Structure 1
């Protein structure tokens, strides 16, 4: 049953800017309706509170002082009505505030997750994995902070202006004090905001480095124990923890100053306005009711002023976190489509639109290296530099969404979902990852009607011993990253997962580098039978696998220089022998 997309999700073509301030504005434009909705309830909420002193002043002057019972009842009813308005708008204002916060956080997560998938391994080469982890665990929520307070900030501005106008109509002096003193009070916080922002940035940087250090250590924990490096790591982690604590202490001082200013400065402002009001009342310039109302206004003013300082504080935090996110958004993959050649299907003109069928029948070509993959064959790619052949494999498997469908192998595929293309060609890297969970699910066998395909893939990868070593076997649970398995067992289970996908084109990068010679011989014999009739590419320098290939391509300095069978190349190519039989020649 097809699912209806969430109406507040972002379309695939949504491209966020790579600047922190512009990113926040980009998010504002995409949720302006909920922001306006929050303001529509935030303004009457705070105005209903702000106007209570005016109603009390009228009740005193027109009711108590004038001894008019009807006026007293009328203004009492007005006060009750404003209380009801405040209660109703409070709930709705808070509802919009939470929506604004969650939408901003969720959409920040969406675009960042897309950037991570687009950049792939290039991202963690530019920045530590822990930095990315911290962004997902912490930064998204703080990006939404300023959106949370936006409804209250709108109410604060409106109520401040209304109260200033009321004071100005009752006393020019008090009105001017309000209109001039309020902005000056907020401007004075600039002396605190700048160091606060710098120290938040510093604390966030140190925290990200600590997370990165922890993530790297967990990944290499077994190696650390093997070489006795626990104490070295402990001292590094303790040192970084100390730097995080020191940065937090430096930040807390400025943050405490800002929090104190939020109470002190509005309090001073209230004292000044109240003193001026009392002086005017004694002089007879304002009535007793106006004096009570003015005191109520000054007491109320602490709310909008504190809200304004809170908005500025959260804006700074959101900008700091947005800067962290845009550094991820700006990450580019190792092989940008518009900067380097990508593979093409040579079945006609290279720029015409093709259907999914030509993925199955066309010859796959990487123009950068000259690699040509014939459909239905087992092709091996050999290079003295493994990173060259691995890069070719990555280019062969690249899939990119396009404006007119899916661009794959340098052409546009008409009306083809990108998921179909990705099912058609699969690249299994040299260091495949296993995740925690049920064995069948992690191998991709949950959708299989029976175990025949799974058992066949396990036989081809010679991986039954790996499954049997797991408690519960196929019905058991894999530990995180398959850490209870040996490197060879993990590699063979990853091969099982790739074989179970049964793609039209399967690219295997060093699939037997971590297994012994006897196991490798069995896998090399079984892969051609398992993949008979399908296109298979193996990146390897193993003679056992090369001997089973229909064609072998020797790559030197990034270009294909020799093509033939393994046996022909062994006898006729000295360069091939240096790469594949180097150990024999050295003897």
Structure 2
């Protein structure tokens, strides 16, 4: 008993959803493919009729020649149209899959990021969606080829029972052999895709962390790790190539053997006078045509293997189901409190939270901003759980600037004002608050300068200031900043701190950092090392040995 793959049903559902909006086009492509394949299948019979007419002394009779011409024209036109229509359909299906996956990532980025690595996600978004989109076309061509095979087999049976029997037995046997040869393909492709995803992750880690790797002397370790993974991926690719080569060889060799057998038997029948010479030529052409269904089967087998592996990867991202957001409230006001740690920021104050561990700093910022409904269950504003607020309302009320903010491909202005809703004066004010005016002035086209992904043409400090300008734009009621000046020099850091302090006057601001500039500027400092300890910077220096140690380490 064969146990179905557990992902088989979701795979089929993904394929159905991908082509659901294109069923009329698929039906038309199938009809044209059937028409073209049948015309090709009947062409050998028409050739035989023309030759028989010529050998019977009738010359090139208009009827057989006309039929042959019509069949050739129909086959050519149908083939060209089917190829063009299938290509357009493949592009549309691939685009819709990319769009669907992109929307899922945009809406569930945090949850998907925990389950799927960036390298795997990039592969799913590109080559995997293309592989899935090629499956319907391969299936249509296989169906059309099978129908054409039935036509050829019927013609051979009516002309010669022996030749028809050879074809009816031989072609299914060859198809079975081809599928057996292709059996290891899917497993090998799945392993290679896994290794390629791992290779992409390593490449991304090396590119993003090259300076750190050099500083700690770990370049050789990562080089060795990358080389080993690359070798494994190459070995897996060689295994795939070997299987695909066997499939291609079977696609050509096995029909050739059948063609020789049909031709030899047909020649014996001609010598006996059982069939006409023209029929032998038709049999030869018909047997040669049998390469088409076997080729279609080989293409389908390889395409199916690729699409199944690709569908598993796409489904892995699409299947991530983050917890639902329960809230429907529209607004809240009051003190912002994290119930997990006990950290509390008074409404309208400039609060700095000092934590020694960067991971704890990022987690605190995420909880205060309500990025995850489960993590944020104990976070409140004025005693109201933030999960009781509508998510859109919460995003307008609370804004988070993470330790590693992201900039996107596009203009600099689009990175500062993604919604394109702010006035020029507001954008200029946000840039001034973040001390980023000089960044704009240094670019050739100012705010309209196009920057690539992550704006890598800018320095780390420039990127951080541009992202900070985005955070302070529109002056949200609650602003959480996590290590906002970690890439800046001391002088610039002090200036940024002063401007943010002034711009945020009267609004609730929480800065998670150990920067001395922010600690000194705070209305209140919360030192988190176990139970939170609150007070001014001077008070904590006077009363907490651990706090003095932390500050001394930062000043060192």
State TM-score, norm by structure 1. Answer: 0.77
- Long gaps (5+) in structure 2: 1-6, 374-384
1:185 Cα deviation (Å)? 0.7
1:365 Cα deviation (Å)? 6.9
Counterpart residue number, 1:42: 33
**Preserved CA contact (<8 Å) 1:445 1:500:** no
2:362 is aligned with 1:390: yes
Provide Cα deviations, 1:5-39, integer angstroms capped at 9, x if missing partner: xxxxxxxxxxx999545533443445433322221
2:502 is aligned with 1:529: yes
2:23 is aligned with 1:32: yes
Counterpart residue number, 2:161: 172
Provide Cα deviations, 1:74-109, integer angstroms capped at 9, x if missing partner: 222122222222232223211221133223322332
The 2-side partners of 1:514 and 1:274 are apart by 78
**Preserved CA contact (<8 Å) 1:507 1:538:** yes
**Preserved CA contact (<8 Å) 1:43 1:159:** yes
The alignment covers a number of residue pairs equal to 537
2:173 is aligned with 1:184: yes
The 2-side partners of 1:360 and 1:51 are apart by 76
**Preserved CA contact (<8 Å) 1:34 1:99:** no
Q: How does 1:164-563 map to 2 (within 5 A)?
A: 164-227=153-216, 230=219, 232-331=221-320, 336-338=322-324, 353-354=328-329, 358-359=330-331, 378=350, 380=352, 386-398=358-370, 409-411=386-388, 413=390, 422=395, 425-435=398-408, 438-444=411-417, 447=420, 452-464=425-437, 466=439, 481-483=454-456, 487-516=460-489, 518-532=491-505, 534-542=507-515, 544-545=517-518
Alignment match of 2:134 (pick from 122, 145, 168): 145
The 2-side partners of 1:460 and 1:267 are apart by 76
Q: How does 1:17-96 map to 2 (within 5 A)?
A: 19-20=10-11, 22-61=13-52, 63-64=53-54, 67=57, 72-96=61-85
Provide Cα deviations, 1:491-535, integer angstroms capped at 9, x if missing partner: 233211212254444332222344455544443333243134555
1:480 Cα deviation (Å)? 6.0
**Preserved CA contact (<8 Å) 1:41 1:89:** yes
**Preserved CA contact (<8 Å) 1:163 1:297:** yes
- Long gaps (5+) in structure 1: 1-15, 345-350, 402-407
Provide Cα deviations, 1:295-344, integer angstroms capped at 9, x if missing partner: 22112111122112211121112222223333333456xxx424xxx7x8
1:184 Cα deviation (Å)? 1.4
1:430 Cα deviation (Å)? 1.0
Provide Cα deviations, 1:457-482, integer angstroms capped at 9, x if missing partner: 23322344555666776576657645
**Preserved CA contact (<8 Å) 1:495 1:511:** yes
1:220 Cα deviation (Å)? 1.9
User: Over aligned residues, Cα RMSD in angstroms?
Assistant: 4.1
The 2-side partners of 1:114 and 1:532 are apart by 37
Provide Cα deviations, 1:365-413, integer angstroms capped at 9, x if missing partner: 7676677777655555555655445334324445799xxxxxx953575
Provide Cα deviations, 1:421-476, integer angstroms capped at 9, x if missing partner: 75554321111133566544433399588753344323322344555666776576
1:130 Cα deviation (Å)? 3.0
Provide Cα deviations, 1:203-259, integer angstroms capped at 9, x if missing partner: 333333333322222112233444555555545444444433333333322222211
The 1-side partners of 2:8 and 2:466 are apart by 41
**Preserved CA contact (<8 Å) 2:435 2:496:** yes
1:262 Cα deviation (Å)? 0.7
Residue range with higher mean Cα deviation, 180-189 or 541-550: 541-550
- Name the SS for the 2:290 alignment partner: helix
The 2-side partners of 1:215 and 1:237 are apart by 11
**Preserved CA contact (<8 Å) 2:116 2:316:** no
**Preserved CA contact (<8 Å) 1:377 1:534:** yes
**Preserved CA contact (<8 Å) 1:17 1:26:** no
1:187 Cα deviation (Å)? 0.7
**Preserved CA contact (<8 Å) 1:380 1:549:** yes
**Preserved CA contact (<8 Å) 1:552 1:564:** yes
The 2-side partners of 1:331 and 1:186 are apart by 39
1:175 Cα deviation (Å)? 2.6
1:160 Cα deviation (Å)? 0.9
The 1-side partners of 2:513 and 2:464 are apart by 14
- Over 3 Å counting, the alpha-carbon distance change for 1:264 and 1:313 in structure 2 is same
Residue range with higher mean Cα deviation, 193-202 or 22-31: 22-31
- Over 3 Å counting, the alpha-carbon distance change for 1:26 and 1:276 in structure 2 is farther
